[in-house]
Amino acid sequence: MLRRFILVLLIVSAVLLVLFLSYTYTMLPGNDPTPSKHDAEKLVRAYDLKKFGSVESSYLHTPKNFAFYNEHHIYVVERALGRREEYVDRHAVIAIGEELTAAEEKLAEAYEDYLTSTVPSIKEVRVLSKHEVTVYENGEEIHSEWLFKEVSVYEEQTILTFTTLQLNTDGSEINLFADGYEQFLDF
């Protein structure tokens, strides 16, 4: 009876150790899936792409995504592209920016004032341009809208986000974080 109990305890311990190690390995930085450039180029039908890195988006199946870019567009694809079949059909394309109209500039100023006065961690917000974002599924356009390029300055970092300027709502957005600020400020 004691042998059986010890054997079961050893088996359970081994299973728990394997689960713990596999969970720890997948959570380490650098172990996130990264889509291949070839898979991304095939999906978006553009063949001059450069890797950018991790982004967050409200347009695809999951919020954690990966971006590639060229001179005229930023392409957002699923991080698991090429690894999971259900993620191969959708991507978002951000076009190069356009200047804001006078009405959009007024809306942007109100948005900037609201954020800097209500979010204590934000030191400064600037809305710089507008960009058309188009979402494709199975090669067909399913959604298109204009997002505004927002630069938010916090104490520790400056981030770049493409967002709607809707206050108090969960609007559509694509967050490129601090690396995006450095890379795409003039995009």
The residues spanned by each domain of the chain are 1-31, 37-92, 102-184
| Token output for 35 | 């889509």
**pLDDT in the model for residue 81:** 67
**pLDDT in the model for residue 96:** 94
Residue 165, pLDDT > 90, answer no
* Most confidently modeled range among 27-31, 156-160, 168-172, 182-186: 156-160
* Sign of the CA dihedral with 107 first, then 112, 113, and 114 last: positive
Of 88, 92, 78, 76, which is closest to residue 33 (Cα–Cα)?
78
Rounded to two decimals, the pTM is 0.77
Average pLDDT over residues 156-184: 81
Distance CA 93, CA 73 (A): 6
Residue 76, pLDDT > 90, answer yes
Average pLDDT over residues 32-59: 86
Q: What is the pLDDT of residues 91-101, one digit of tens each?
A: 999 999 999 99
Counting residues of the chain whose pLDDT is more than 70, the rounded percentage is: 86
